[in-house]
Amino acid sequence: MAVNPPLLDPPLPVPCFRVGTASCGVKSPEIRGKRQDLTLIVSDEPAHAAGVFTQNRFRAACVDFGQETIERHGQDIRCIIANSGNANAGVGEMERLWAQQLIEAGAAACGCRPEQTLSASTGVIGTPFPIERIERHIGEAVASLRPDGWQAAAEAIRTTDTFAKWASRKVGNHTITGIAKGSGMIHPNMATMLAFVATDAPLTHDQLQPMLRRAADRSFNSISVDGDTSTNDTVYLLANGLGMGHAPLQDTSEFEQALTEVCIELAQLIVRDGEGVSKFVTIHVNGARSEEEARKIGRTIAVSPLVKTAFAGSDANWGRILAAIGNAGVEIDRSRVALAADDVCIVENGQLREDYRDEAGMAVFAKKEFTLHVDLGLGEAAATVWTGDLTHEYITINAEYRT
C-alpha cells in the first residue's frame, strides 16, 4: 500500500566497498532459496565508522555490541553483517551468544577480526535465532560480493517493506550510498529500521559521529508511522577514504549536506512504505524558539492517532491538530498560532479564519501528498517531520505479522 513508490536510479557503487547477499532461511527454513535474507558489506580498506542506535531500553544484543565496537574500534571497521527475518531480541541469555556468533561468522567470512565487524538483525522479536542456518549459507554472500551489490542488499534487509530503499549522492570526487529498511514500528529515537551508509570520502570517526547524529535528527528521527520504536534500530556510516592515505577533509559542510540529503531520502522512503499508509504528509513547524521545540511539536502531530485517522478519512479536522500542538509539552502563545494545509489557511492568530471553507481543507486532505504548515509566531527556528495516515490495513498487517 505504498504511497507513490518511487522509480529510483540504481545506487552508485562506492570505491573499495563490496556487497553480497545470501538466502539462509532465517525466518523459516521454507524461505531458503526464495528470498535473500543475509547481507555482507565489506570495506577493502579499514574504514572509520559512526553509529546511532535505538533508545528502546529493551534493545537487542547486536545494538549493544555495535555501540561498543564503534566506541572502541571506530577507526578500524571492515564489515557489516546483517540479517532479516529474526531480530534476535527478547530471547534471554542466549541472545548475546547468538549475536556474538553472528559477528564471528561475519568476521571469518570477510577475513577480518570480530572487533572489526558490525552486525544488525531485524525481524520477529522473541524467536530463537537460527545462527546455524546463517553459518551454513554465509558462503553464498561471500561468493556474491561485488561493488554494485547495493540494490540486492537493500532487498535482502526487507521485512514487511513493499519495496527496497536506497539513495546515492556525489560529493566532488567522492560517493555516498545508503540503503535502509523500515515500514512499521516507526517513530523517532529511532524506529524499526536499519540503515547502512558508505562513502569513500576521507573522514575520521570524530568527524563522522557528530555529522551522523545531526543527519539522523533531521531524517530518521523526524519520521513517524505508528508511534512505536523498536529494539533493534541501527544506522551505520562507514568511510574508508583514509585507508588510501588521504588527509581528512577540512571543510565537511558539503559532505554533511549530501549525507543529510541521503538520510532524508531514505527516511521519506520509509514513510512512503509505511504499513497501511495511503498518504504521505509533511509537517513543517516554524516560528519556534528552538529547532528542538519545533520538532517536538511536529512529532506530536505526526504520532497522534486522532490526527492520523483524520488524514485517512480526508477529514480536515483542524481541532485535532491544535490539540496535538497543545499536547506537545512546549510553551506556546495560542493567540499567535497559525495553521495551513498546502495553500489553504485554516487558523490564524489562534482561531479559525472567517473566510475558511471546510470543502477547501477537505480537498487538500484528500490528496495522496500534502503539507501541514504550523507557525507558532515565537521565534525563527523551524523543523520538518514526515508521517502518514493510519488505516485499517495497518491493523491487518500487524495482526498477521507472525503468521
**Three-state SS at 239:** strand
| CA pair distance 26, 101, nearest whole angstrom | 14
**Three-state SS at 135:** helix
Single-letter code of the amino acid located at 162: T
> What is the per-residue pLDDT for 221?
86
Q: Is the peptide bond before 190 cis (omega within 30 degrees of 0)?
A: yes
C-alpha of 226 from chain center: 14
**Domains of the chain (ranges plus CATH)?**
17-270 (3.60.70.12), 280-399 (3.10.20.340)
Single-letter code of the amino acid located at 313: G
Surface-to-core class of residue 340, CB atoms within 10 Å of its CB (0-12 exposed, 13-18 middle, 19+ buried): buried
198 within 8 A of 238, measured Cβ to Cβ:
yes
Tell me which residues are annotated as active site: 192
Mean pLDDT by 10 residues, the chain (403 residues): 73 97 94 92 96 83 95 97 94 94 98 98 92 98 98 94 94 96 57 84 96 93 63 90 81 97 94 83 97 94 92 95 96 97 97 96 97 98 92 67 53
Q: Which residues pair with 178 in a beta bridge?
A: 167, 197
Burial 38-72 (b: 16+ CB within 10 A, else e): bbbbbbebbbbbbbbbbebeebbbbbebbbebbee
pTM comes to 0.89
Other Cβ atoms closer than 10 A to 9 = 9
> What is the per-residue pLDDT for 158?
92
Which alpha helices (H) appear in 284-317, and where do they start and end? 291-303, 305-312
